Amino acid sequence: MTHGKGHSYDEYLERIAQHPIVTKVKITEMISNLADHPSKKQMKKYAKGLLRLLREIK
């Protein structure tokens, strides 16, 4: 699941959040990316994304 051009990262997260299975897969992907020595910019991006998507988990 890659963020395509033409949409902001927030819009991308909102689209993902509309699909429970995709949300769980994306959360798993973000956690994996955080374990792979991310830059500070990436850490901020993934932290923001995780906080947003974790609100959808029931």
Dig out the tokens for 3 from the structure: 């963020």
Find the helix packing angle between 9-17 and 20-34, rounded to 10°.
130
Q: Which stretches of the chain score pLDDT less than 70?
A: 1
- Give the start-end residues of each E strand in the chain: none
- Domain residue spans of the chain: 20-54
Determine the pLDDT at residue 4: 74
Q: Quick check: pTM over 0.75?
A: yes
Query: How far apart are the C-alpha atoms of 58 and 9, rounded to whole Å?
Result: 23
**For 8-38, b where at least 16 C-beta lie within 10 A, e where not — what string?**
eeeebbeebeeeeeebeebbeebeeeeeeee
Determine the pLDDT at residue 1: 64
